[in-house]
């Protein structure tokens, strides 16, 4: 770590999403050396800084005052100060305030320096085990059902892994809408309470999520990242299941072939059976 004062600029600092140990050495160093820290919520950041043993002047820059806050910070940086920006948890500007501020500082011709670290989206993806490939981070879906279903419909045919954030009070209805619009066959990985005491990552089909939530009273609590296989993967998975089904059906009665194919592929027995009946009938 370098000694002395930091060059003037805005330092966009990622903070932990639950486990204090996830603060990076560089984030600590920067937070100690900046002149002041702008925060989404000064109370939340005040607690974090106290836990880290750092004392700095705090300024509030949140969604509703981001433009006005930007002007103040630009004046400070232009006067030679180093200013950090932190959101409540994780990486600023990822479903959090920060982007407007960063844009304004850039536009003013001043330096913006990322100090990377935790984000729930990358933490979730790293433990999900989906095959490598492109993914789309869609943040939060709209809270109202019609708008939410329309938004999901727009993503339905994309050949990309879909990644969403969701709050506990909406996770059940969002998963139901995802199943309704994308189809219950698609694989989903649910990551909840990452880096915290009761963290959990579970993968299943979309039509199994309601039973998974029902399985325990605390399942619906906490913070969630939802990752759902893209259209191409879902279709490729189905094509493979159909191939296995047809090979089995050459040797076995339809019901038995559907049962074994369902066990081998994780697809729904009733769907596979219906497909055989349709083809054979
Ligand atoms: N800026 C943050 C980041 O980099 O991840 C995200 C902030 S956003 C307002 C909060 C949402 O992130 C939560 O509703 C949840 O979807 C997700 N999230 C945050 N912490 C999480 C955690 N520990 N486990 C799972 N999801 C989390």
Q: Quote the mean pLDDT of the chain.
A: 94
What is the distance between the alpha carbons of residues 118 and 191, in angstroms, rounded to a whole number? 15
What is the distance between the alpha carbons of residues 172 and 163, in angstroms, rounded to a whole number? 16
Mean pLDDT of 257-270: 87
CA of 112 to the centre of ligand 1 (A): 23
CA of 96 to the centre of ligand 1 (A): 9
What is the distance between the alpha carbons of residues 238 and 179, in angstroms, rounded to a whole number? 16
Residue 1: both structure tokens together: 């770590």
What is the distance between the alpha carbons of residues 205 and 208, in angstroms, rounded to a whole number? 5
Residue whose token pair is 């059976």: 273
Query: Is the per-residue pLDDT at 233 higher than 70?
Result: no
Residue whose token pair is 């879902």: 234
Find the range with the poorest average confidence among 215-224, 229-238, 255-264.
229-238
| Phi-psi sector, 18: left (phi>0), alpha (psi -120 to 50), beta | left
| 194 within ligand 1 shell (Cβ under 6 A) | yes
| 160 within ligand 1 shell (Cβ under 6 A) | no
CA of 133 to the centre of ligand 1 (A): 22
| 86 within ligand 1 shell (Cβ under 6 A) | no
Strands 200-205 and 58-60, by their bridges, are unpaired
Q: Using one digit for the tens of pLDDT, what is the confidence trace for 42-86?
A: 999 999 999 999 999 999 999 889 999 999 999 999 999 999 999
| 91 within ligand 1 shell (Cβ under 6 A) | yes
Pocket test for ligand 1, best of 12, 88, 89 (most atoms within 8 A of CB): 89
Fold classification of 9-118 is Cobalt-precorrin-4 Transmethylase; domain 1 (3.40.1010)
What length does the chain have?
Answer: 281
Q: Using one digit for the tens of pLDDT, what is the confidence trace for 152-189?
A: 999 999 999 999 999 999 999 999 999 999 999 999 99
Query: Is the per-residue pLDDT at 1 higher than 60?
Result: no
Residues of the chain above pLDDT 90, percent: 84
CA of 240 to the centre of ligand 1 (A): 35
| 10 within ligand 1 shell (Cβ under 6 A) | no
CA of 199 to the centre of ligand 1 (A): 13
Fold classification of 121-228 is 3.30.950
What is the distance between the alpha carbons of residues 108 and 9, in angstroms, rounded to a whole number? 11
Q: Which ligand 1 atom sits closest to the C-alpha of 18?
A: 23
| 95 within ligand 1 shell (Cβ under 6 A) | yes
What is the distance between the alpha carbons of residues 52 and 50, in angstroms, rounded to a whole number? 5
Residue 210: both structure tokens together: 């309601």
| 85 within ligand 1 shell (Cβ under 6 A) | no
How far the first Cα of the chain sits from its last, in Å, is: 72
Mean pLDDT of 114-128: 98
Closest CA to 264 of 279, 243, 280: 243
The maximal CA–CA distance of the chain, rounded, in angstroms, is 80
């Amino acid at each position: 770590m370098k000694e002395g004062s930091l060059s003037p600029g805005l330092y966009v600092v990622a903070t932990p999403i639950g486990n204090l140990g996830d603060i990076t050495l560089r984030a600590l160093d920067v937070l100690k050396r900046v002149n002041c820290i702008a925060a989404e919520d000064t109370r939340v950041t005040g607690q974090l800084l106290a836990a880290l043993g750092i004392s700095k002047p705090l300024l509030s820059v949140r969604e509703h005052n981001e433009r006005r806050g930007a002007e103040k910070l630009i004046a400070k940086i232009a006067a030679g100060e180093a200013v950090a920006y932190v959101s409540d948890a994780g990486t600023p500007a990822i479903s959090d305030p920060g982007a407007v501020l960063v844009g304004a500082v850039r536009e003013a011709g001043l330096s913006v320096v990322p100090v990377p670290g935790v984000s729930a989206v990358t933490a979730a993806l790293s433990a999900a085990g989906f095959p490598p490939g492109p993914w789309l981070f869609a943040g939060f879906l709209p809270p109202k059902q019609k708008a939410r279903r329309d938004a999901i419909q727009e993503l339905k045919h994309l050949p990309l892994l879909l990644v969403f954030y969701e709050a506990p009070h909406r996770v059940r209805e969002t998963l139901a809408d995802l199943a309704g619009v994308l189809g219950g066959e698609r694989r989903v990985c649910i990551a909840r309470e990452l880096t915290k005491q009761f963290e959990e990552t579970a993968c299943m089909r979309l039509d199994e999520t309601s039973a998974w939530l029902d399985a325990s009273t605390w399942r619906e609590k906490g913070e969630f990242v939802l990752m759902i296989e893209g259209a191409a993967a879902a279709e490729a998975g189905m094509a493979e299941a159909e191939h296995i089904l047809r090979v089995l059906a050459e040797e076995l009665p339809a019901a038995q072939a559907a049962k074994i194919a369902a066990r081998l592929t994780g697809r729904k027995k009733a769907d596979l059976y219906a497909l055989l009946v349709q083809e054979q009938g």
